[in-house]
Structure 1
Amino acid sequence: MSEPSGLEVAVVGMAGRFPGAADIHEFETLIREGRNALTRSTDEELDALGVPASTYNRPDYIRGRGRIDGPELFDAEFFGYTPMDAALLDPQQRVFLECCWHALEDAGQAGRPDAGQLVGVYASASLSSYLIRHLLTQPWLVADVGAHQLLLSNDKDSLAARVSYAMDLRGPSVVVQSACSSSLLGVHLASQALISRDCDLALVGGAAIRLPQAEGAVHQAGGIMSPDGECRSFDAAANGTVGGNGVGVVVLKRLADAIRDGDTVHAVVLGSAVGNDGAARVGFTAPGAEGQTAVIRAALDVADVDPKTIGYVEGHGSATPLGDAVEVEALTAAFDAGSDTEPWCALGSVKSLVGHLDAAAGIAGFIKAVITVRDGVIPPSPHFTRPNPDSALERSPFQVSPTAQPWPRSFDVRRAGVSSFGMGGTSVHVIVEQPPTPSAPPRAALGGPEVLVLSAASPDALETGRRNLAGHLGANPDLDLRDVAHTLATGRRRLGHRMAVVTNSSEAAQSALDGSDVRRGSGPVHREVVLMFPGQGTQQAGMAAEPYHAGGVFRDCVDECAKLAGDRLGLDLVAALTTVDGAETLKRTRDAQPALFAVEYATAMLWWHRGIRPRAMIGHSIGEYAAAVLAGVMDLSDAMALVCERGRLMDGLPTGSMLAVEAAADDLPEVPGVDVAAHNAPGLSVLSGPDDRIAAAEQVLAERGVATRRLHTSHAFHSAMMQPIADEYADVVAGVRLSPPRIPFVSNVTGTWITDEQTTDPGYWAAQLRRPVRFHDGMRTLLERDRQVLLEVGPGVTLTSFAGQHGLAANGHVAVSSSTRNREITADSLARSWAALWVEGVDLDEAAVGQGGRRVPLPVYPFERARHWIALPTDVPDAGETEASQPVPSVAEPGLTDTQTLVTDVWRQLMGIDRPGLHDDFFGLGGHSLLATRILARIGSELGVELSVQLLFEHPTIAGLAAEVDRVCAAEASDAELEALVARLGELPADELRAQLAGLDDAGEGATQ
């Protein structure tokens, strides 16, 4: 690539559906093979459309056309459409939505948009034949839905905004229309917007789906259509173009940004130009060489390239004798080539493969040119045998090849031009170049586990995605697993059904994906996290070796804690945490407590840097200090000072013992001199006291058949043996600045939320080392809110085990540990906990996965398409296909009131849902404000009342809405009765009127008693 100017634009993603190609990969194959993908309509298809045999049997009836598969199919639920709304939506817009999603995924850009990132949409579409042929021909539909809704669902002016809304994109959203050159003009406009920083990323594309696909037409003499249904661009036998259907989308990004972000670059846009040749043509629809030449020259100037460096031109190639001749004339003039020039530049047109795609023609040609310069192969042109003699092709620098050819080695760089000329004279030309060679240095071998994540909107789609990814990894064994992990985590939107695997190699990833070692989860995202910090006894020598040696924030935090502890205690904290030699050190309370605190603090900060923002916290004994630091109660330096002094004071006390007991404290016999040190879980407590007293308790409990276990502690924590240091420790705490918590946490002492007064009271922290740990009560306090994720931050799984005994699943809670069961925090344990948190819907910084990875193309989302279709009056759906049709009559269901039946029928008819439930949420089913207006209007019309649309917003279920409708109807009936009574009263004699009014007063008094 030439020296960059900073104005280059990268093509980082592509997607499409074309004749003979269900996706972009099949389109690449079709291009490489030069395969004719046009289809000829059969007699049976034409009979089904009601075309008379006398018409389609005429020799001048054109049967050939480029078709796509399944325009009637759409994953409505994925994009939030009701079945009826999906059936009303123009297939061009449906397929365009799906292709935009796939293009973003192909680019690795479909994740949550970065804050402030502007993603533009530049979209083009043809006139909606679905509206004209399928919808407006159904009188019942026009009356039922209304012209406004039909136009909104099919007007191409809404195409770009529909994509922006569906994908939450905040950049420019522009519909681009210049007839056949529309979508290439979109490339030009999007490139300018990127350069001027109107957006940071741009979706550009076009859609053209003419319906019915099988319908042909009688050839008109002098027209532009080929009478035999073949498109022979630039060939002597060219006799016209052929219509085609297709959708193409690309993702553009500033080249410098793409290189910085590690994107896959397919090609580079060097420059482009647009213009119109005004009246310098023989007619409005005729091509003009002068205007085309000017635009091509302008694009070359903008790109600052010599025409002799262009090795391929993807031409407009309309295959009309006049159009091809004018195009070759304009290209030759723009390239400043004389008639005696030897050809150096290949020429072709995608129309010879798929037909003329109207508003999508430009993007189809652009994608073909991108693939050509990327792969370095000049694609073959089908049908070509000899040049059109009227085009002066043989006296130009251009040549058309019927076979695939390697890019000539005479070129230093692969460059191509792309032309698209709109009817009416708007011409666009774009210069593209091969992608730059990646300049990043070779990466080291994969050093640790990676997390591969997948999600989908349904279990079936997730399973398909899993199979697709496993197959892709098997077919591409050289893929760097970091790239795969990074792309899946940052380049995909996280949906309702999720899975993750932790793996060390691509081969192992395939096995993991095909095996049972897959973490799965479902439900809403943005779940709240509670951090749990364990207490003394969970520490182990070398427990933090792996994350410390990995560097980063964990190591920085440990080093900071180590310096503070070293200054106070002369303790080599790093050695204790990273080597087995620290085992003896960690047996001493004086050293164990600062070591445990350091690991918990460093692990918490590691999670903080990975995006975890806890809603609440709980600490067990010394673990409460780590919670206090994160909550802002004390700073790190003061906390380490307190922890060191706490451990030193405890270490100077007489030794004691602690005993774990499988029984609730209230059920334990009283043993003199023994205290309850902890209420850990239902039926699980800890006793603490002098050695002989704990031995006595142990014997008593054994006689009663109660299981016990000695804890590996040197002292009797949280017992009366701690009392001698309480006052001295309170004085130490008094010298530290304490603040109210910014993040709530639960108190060990009370088992409820700690108060501002407690956190700032030195006496509280003194009592905290003496009083029992009420972890069981604290868990009950935490679990009052549903669907939380409890993350243990520190060595071991002790608190995870305690939490699991509180019936977490009943209210949607889940507990996750950062450590192995061997009380070591490792790269694997952190990866597995990250995977678990992601699967459970916790907000994380996805960039923490696959660090240093690049974005690479991976299998895209497997849409679950279903038929959503308003059929032509002549169509007969196949067996088993669902079809939107005239409203079905009401079928009363047992147990429903008349109003509930009415509301159900209206929902069925206007939403296209077969059996909505009484308590299904209207908006959860894809409802929106316009649909709400239509539903309330229909119900009101049936009942003869006026209903506010606000009713459905406030009562979005059938049951709730029906009850409100009944209330409104009852109120209106009462008003009508009152009006009738007033009218009658006005006709009564005075004496009888007074009697009636007295009766009303009596009734009113009775009603208030």
Structure 2
Amino acid sequence: MTEYTGLEIAVVGMAGRFPGSSTVDEFWANVLAGEVGVRRFTDEELDAAGVSAERRAEPGFVPVGGALDGIEFFDAKLFGYSPRDAAVLDPQQRVFLECAWHALEHAGHLGGDQEVGVYASASIDTYLLRHLLNNPAVPGGLQPLDLLLANDKDTLASRVAYHLDLTGPAITVQTACSSSLVTIHVACQALLGRDCDIALAGGVSIRPPVHEGYQHTEGGILAADGRCMPFDVDAHGVVAGNGVAAVVLRRLEDALADGDTIYAVVKGTAVNNDGADKVGFTAPSVNGQARVIRAAHQLSEVDSSTIGYVEAHGTATPLGDPIEVAALTQAFVNPPEACALGSVKALIGHLDAAAGVAGFVKAALVVGNGVVPPSPYFTAPNPETGLEGSPFFVNREVQGWPGSSPRRAGVSGFGMGGTNAHAVLEEPPSPQPMRDGRSRQLVVLSAAAEESLEEGRTRLAEHLAEDGAGDGAGDGASLADVSHTLRTGRRHLRHRLAVVARDRAEASELLAAGQVWTGSGDRRDVVFLFPGQGSQYAGMAEQLDREEPVFRAALDECAALLPFDLRAALGDAERLTRTRFTQPALFAVEYSLAKLWEHWGVRPSAMLGHSVGEYVAACLAGVFSLEDALKLITARGELMDALPAGAMLSVPVGADELGLPEDVCLAASNAPAMSTVAGTFEAIERFEAQLSVTSRRLHTSHAFHSSMIDPMLAEFAERVAGTRLHEPQMPFVSNVSGTWITAEEATDPGYWVRHAREAVRFSEGLRTVLAEGPVNVLEVGPGNVLTTLARQHDLGGSQAFGSLRHPREDKHDLETTLSTLGRLWIAGVPVDLGVLTADERRRRVPLPGYAFRKVRHWVDLPGTTAPQVEPERVVAPAQAEVQGGDLAVISGIWQELLGISRIGPHDDYFELGGHSLLATQILARITAELGVTLPAGAIFEAPTPARLTALAERHKEQQPAEDDEFARLLAEIRDMSPEELRAELDRERDAQEISQS
């Protein structure tokens, strides 16, 4: 087993798009198969790239390259861009943004509060040079600064940090074709120096038009026949490619502690420059390359004889290949018995600024999977390289690891101009086994658009259905690890789904069938409902007690304060018919459930209890301590249990319409057409016989909230009087009044006596809660009695949820509890999904990445015709309104400058992708076209066309009066002498000083 020095860096995530592959998984499959992504372009592609027939006929023209298809598509709305701004944004920056998102998702670290640094590189921006400058198709209204900000390489890393809200260093690195390997070196140094906790490093090279081909010149570095064959006897140059890749790095100790999936370990990196020790500025140097490789070995504390693979720079040029092999031979002080050489450029071309990270990704997968990919093009070594007779070789077939364990590899990146970089990688440590999690798992997924959510659901279902899904490091991940990764390692976006399942197979089936909770909402407030006696059943919350430590701890706390064995009572149906056990048991379960919900971040904005349930609300609000609450509820139960038995009847009639006889009492007003009455058995039987509606006897031992409990009230009053009562610190509704409880009521012992005797005004109380606006009503107790009653009211946009299963439901408690947690998250409640696994150690595992929307945002080359693409619908027809007058003018300005063909009067400027720089242009246009000057912050104050129109109309009315006042003041000043003017200014200054003091 390898020993670590504490200076190692873990590769915990990666993402990329390369010629011929759109994901790292596809890339690795193509590398193993030797599939070449470089291809010959069709005439149609060359036409679209603006390549004339004359140029194609020129000697040396090679219509070949490593193209990256689909670069014109971008999920602008996800990143907050208007169509106009997206169209002029450098495709390198767009594609790198999406790649960075996917890499952090792959690592399970897109989100959280850790410092994430960004280190990135890009190639020259040919989109600006060839597609935008002097092109009449560029959207109107753009200033030179707009184009500069959208295309300057310097903004690459900062753009990622801004859109992904990453607060570590954001540094763009440029060292020619070694750039992206240098970003990895800089990122590793930043991690070791504690500049950040997580680092994203990588590069992008997209040089549109990407289907153009190139011109070969004798003696140049570009291959004459479009084939790149590093170290081969027939090697004669490289082929240009386009691509993007990024890796996520962490200190190894942190990655191990957090359960990250580790793909490889970076033992060390080094960077240097050739200086003047070479024949020319662009020429490579044996000594420079050898020094950087040797430095990486020394910093890694690795013996060069243990390295079994080198991902070479490998440009296949007659000068470059022999120099690289000579440098390797010189640098490997202790030569290995055998060391394979490879270069990914043979498959995807030379990715320029992204070449280093592409090779790094390949090398990480090589050491992680323990196989050496083939170079099927290889025939015989270039004799100038000296490969024959050296330990280095190029293999044509997939080969097992050529050395001993641990598997180690080197990665080289040499920049034109002399900046050299080298990294040493080692196989990852074996993942530590994880114990089983809870028996049910909450799986969540979200997206910024419904289409992306739907595609994400399908991808996740397919991934979970695969046996041993993953890319080598995350095989066989349990559903607990999948759930943990989705909950803690992803952004929580507006459109959401949730499902509860036992294992991967069940989750896959439910996702594939669409049997999930979906939606989006902004109902943040939650109202806790606590049920009363009659909702209990034997075994209630037993499975939560077994599987949820927070629930169990709260129940233990209650059990220690009760005069009987709480858990024995909870499991005994006969005992739960006895009020002396029922009421304390209900209180304990509901209190423990509330603590569990609060632990998960579900905190009530208000509470409403039903009879005994109000004691839980009062305890949580601070009226009683837990000890005092349990003493009172125990005394209450014992006193009631000693009373003569009675009956209770549920009647489907409103409380005001019952017409009760004197010997029957209203016990509860539960819903607009649902009441409960109580009395002696004889009185209830007579009343029931008179009813014309079907009523239902309740399974209760006594006639609660009726005159039958009068004999116990005096003694109960004494018990309450001896209890310390405090003002409530959280609002809850009184059962007695059906309105918000007051401090005077809560601290009055007489209130709690009346509370035991008078009817429960639950229906009135619920209407009080619902009058505050749409909320999430959560029943915090066994069964669904209060949820059912709540749904008999006009919820007005509110929703009702339960916490525990109904006694007749054949399902696990966690299925109900976790489903409700997921639905509350969907509704917009700020739940803390991360704490679900706070008490257990889980792994972050690779999962399918976000399904970006593919919308075309592109400015075509001058003289070429854009393909017919369905335009993005920004505003649904139902949102559109007939617009005229100033509203039409302002909407038209927005449509033009934002690049959106249809904008509704109530669409939000910032949701459409607007920003402060564009806002100044909009206001200037409004001034020019409507003759009204608006303040600089007008769009922040009025961010919709309708509101901005109203603001403009108000300013129109005010400006003439302001202009007249200004003219009057100017005339007065002109008539003043200098002495009078100074005296007036002094008076004004004195007045201001007085007002400020």
Is the pair's TM-score, using the shorter chain for normalization, greater than 0.5? Answer: yes
- Say if 1:816 and 1:163 are closer, same or farther in 2 by CA, change over 3 A: farther
Supply the distance in 2 between the matched residues of 1:634 and 1:945 (Cα, whole angstroms).
62
The equivalent position to 1:499 in structure 2, one of 497, 510, 520, is 497
Amino acid at match of 1:304: E
The answer for the alignment partner of 1:512 in structure 2 is 510
Amino acid at match of 2:257: R
Kindly state the Cα deviation for residue 970 of structure 1 after the two structures are TM-superposed.
4.4
The answer for the alignment partner of 1:606 in structure 2 is 596
The equivalent position to 1:345 in structure 2, one of 339, 345, 370, is 339
- The C-alpha deviation readout for 1:300-353, integer Å capped at 9, x for no partner, is 11111100100001111122222222221221111126xxx7851111111111
Supply the distance in 2 between the matched residues of 1:188 and 1:792 (Cα, whole angstroms).
54
Aligned-residue CA RMSD (Å): 2.6
User: Is 1:98 the counterpart of 2:98 in the alignment?
Assistant: yes
Supply the distance in 2 between the matched residues of 1:761 and 1:985 (Cα, whole angstroms).
70
Kindly state the Cα deviation for residue 295 of structure 1 after the two structures are TM-superposed.
1.4
User: Is 1:683 the counterpart of 2:670 in the alignment?
Assistant: no
Amino acid at match of 1:508: E
Contact 2:206 2:243 in 1 (8 A): yes
Amino acid at match of 2:452: A
- Structure 1's unaligned 5+ residue stretches are 885-892, 987-1009
The answer for the alignment partner of 1:661 in structure 2 is 651
User: Is 1:355 the counterpart of 2:337 in the alignment?
Assistant: no
- The C-alpha deviation readout for 1:110-168, integer Å capped at 9, x for no partner, is 2x314xx1112111111221111111222574862101111111112222222122222
Kindly state the Cα deviation for residue 513 of structure 1 after the two structures are TM-superposed.
2.0
- Say if 1:982 and 1:363 are closer, same or farther in 2 by CA, change over 3 A: closer
- Structure 2's unaligned 5+ residue stretches are 469-475, 874-879, 974-997
The answer for the alignment partner of 1:396 in structure 2 is 390
Contact 1:803 1:815 in 2 (8 A): no
Amino acid at match of 1:226: A
In the TM superposition, 1:262-341 aligns within 5 A as 262-336=259-333
Supply the distance in 1 between the matched residues of 2:292 and 2:729 (Cα, whole angstroms).
62
Supply the distance in 1 between the matched residues of 2:647 and 2:881 (Cα, whole angstroms).
68
- The C-alpha deviation readout for 1:219-241, integer Å capped at 9, x for no partner, is 33433222332222222222222
Contact 1:451 1:503 in 2 (8 A): yes
- The C-alpha deviation readout for 1:681-721, integer Å capped at 9, x for no partner, is 11111112333332332233x2xx13322222222222233
Supply the distance in 2 between the matched residues of 1:980 and 1:254 (Cα, whole angstroms).
69
Amino acid at match of 2:287: E
User: Is 1:24 the counterpart of 2:24 in the alignment?
Assistant: yes
Supply the distance in 2 between the matched residues of 1:982 and 1:758 (Cα, whole angstroms).
62
Kindly state the Cα deviation for residue 789 of structure 1 after the two structures are TM-superposed.
1.5
Supply the distance in 2 between the matched residues of 1:159 and 1:737 (Cα, whole angstroms).
63
The answer for the alignment partner of 1:890 in structure 2 is none
Supply the distance in 2 between the matched residues of 1:767 and 1:49 (Cα, whole angstroms).
85
Supply the distance in 2 between the matched residues of 1:46 and 1:517 (Cα, whole angstroms).
47
Aligned residue-pair number:
958
Amino acid at match of 1:108: G
The answer for the alignment partner of 2:211 in structure 1 is 214
The answer for the alignment partner of 1:693 in structure 2 is 683
The answer for the alignment partner of 1:460 in structure 2 is 451
The answer for the alignment partner of 2:983 in structure 1 is none
Amino acid at match of 1:32: L
Kindly state the Cα deviation for residue 965 of structure 1 after the two structures are TM-superposed.
2.2
Supply the distance in 2 between the matched residues of 1:559 and 1:81 (Cα, whole angstroms).
53
The answer for the alignment partner of 1:728 in structure 2 is 715
The answer for the alignment partner of 1:829 in structure 2 is 816
The answer for the alignment partner of 1:1007 in structure 2 is none
Contact 1:680 1:802 in 2 (8 A): yes
The equivalent position to 1:380 in structure 2, one of 371, 374, 382, is 374
Report SS of the residue matched to 2:668: strand
Contact 1:452 1:489 in 2 (8 A): yes
Amino acid at match of 1:561: C
Amino acid at match of 1:872: L
The equivalent position to 2:895 in structure 1, one of 908, 918, 927, is 908
Kindly state the Cα deviation for residue 657 of structure 1 after the two structures are TM-superposed.
2.0
Contact 1:232 1:382 in 2 (8 A): no
The equivalent position to 2:799 in structure 1, one of 809, 813, 819, is 813
User: Is 1:413 the counterpart of 2:401 in the alignment?
Assistant: no
Supply the distance in 1 between the matched residues of 2:336 and 2:907 (Cα, whole angstroms).
71
Amino acid at match of 2:556: D
The answer for the alignment partner of 1:586 in structure 2 is 576
In the TM superposition, 1:44-59 aligns within 5 A as 44-59=44-59
Report SS of the residue matched to 1:161: helix
Contact 2:137 2:860 in 1 (8 A): no
Report SS of the residue matched to 1:269: strand
The equivalent position to 1:860 in structure 2, one of 832, 840, 849, is 849
Supply the distance in 1 between the matched residues of 2:274 and 2:34 (Cα, whole angstroms).
33
User: Is 1:427 the counterpart of 2:420 in the alignment?
Assistant: yes
Report SS of the residue matched to 2:801: strand
- Say if 1:58 and 1:680 are closer, same or farther in 2 by CA, change over 3 A: same
Kindly state the Cα deviation for residue 983 of structure 1 after the two structures are TM-superposed.
12
Supply the distance in 2 between the matched residues of 1:554 and 1:901 (Cα, whole angstroms).
58
The answer for the alignment partner of 1:60 in structure 2 is 60
Report SS of the residue matched to 1:501: strand
Supply the distance in 1 between the matched residues of 2:963 and 2:636 (Cα, whole angstroms).
80
Kindly state the Cα deviation for residue 387 of structure 1 after the two structures are TM-superposed.
1.9
The equivalent position to 1:710 in structure 2, one of 684, 689, 697, is 697
- Say if 1:741 and 1:377 are closer, same or farther in 2 by CA, change over 3 A: same
The equivalent position to 1:751 in structure 2, one of 738, 746, 770, is 738
The equivalent position to 1:473 in structure 2, one of 451, 464, 478, is 464
Contact 1:9 1:191 in 2 (8 A): yes
Amino acid at match of 2:179: S
Between 84-93 and 464-473, the greater mean CA deviation after superposition: 464-473
- Normalising by structure 1, we get a TM-score of 0.91
Contact 1:482 1:852 in 2 (8 A): no
Contact 1:795 1:825 in 2 (8 A): no
Kindly state the Cα deviation for residue 499 of structure 1 after the two structures are TM-superposed.
1.8
Supply the distance in 2 between the matched residues of 1:804 and 1:48 (Cα, whole angstroms).
60
Contact 2:541 2:804 in 1 (8 A): no
- Say if 1:240 and 1:883 are closer, same or farther in 2 by CA, change over 3 A: farther
Report SS of the residue matched to 1:777: helix
The answer for the alignment partner of 1:1004 in structure 2 is none
Amino acid at match of 1:29: A
Supply the distance in 2 between the matched residues of 1:245 and 1:82 (Cα, whole angstroms).
26
Supply the distance in 1 between the matched residues of 2:140 and 2:825 (Cα, whole angstroms).
48
The equivalent position to 1:928 in structure 2, one of 907, 915, 920, is 915
Supply the distance in 2 between the matched residues of 1:492 and 1:737 (Cα, whole angstroms).
47
User: Is 1:240 the counterpart of 2:234 in the alignment?
Assistant: no
Kindly state the Cα deviation for residue 883 of structure 1 after the two structures are TM-superposed.
10
Amino acid at match of 2:937: Q
Kindly state the Cα deviation for residue 895 of structure 1 after the two structures are TM-superposed.
4.4
The answer for the alignment partner of 1:15 in structure 2 is 15
- The C-alpha deviation readout for 1:36-70, integer Å capped at 9, x for no partner, is 21122334433444433222212211322111110
- The C-alpha deviation readout for 1:422-456, integer Å capped at 9, x for no partner, is 22221111111111112326x45x77222222222
The answer for the alignment partner of 1:994 in structure 2 is none
Report SS of the residue matched to 2:171: strand
Amino acid at match of 1:454: L
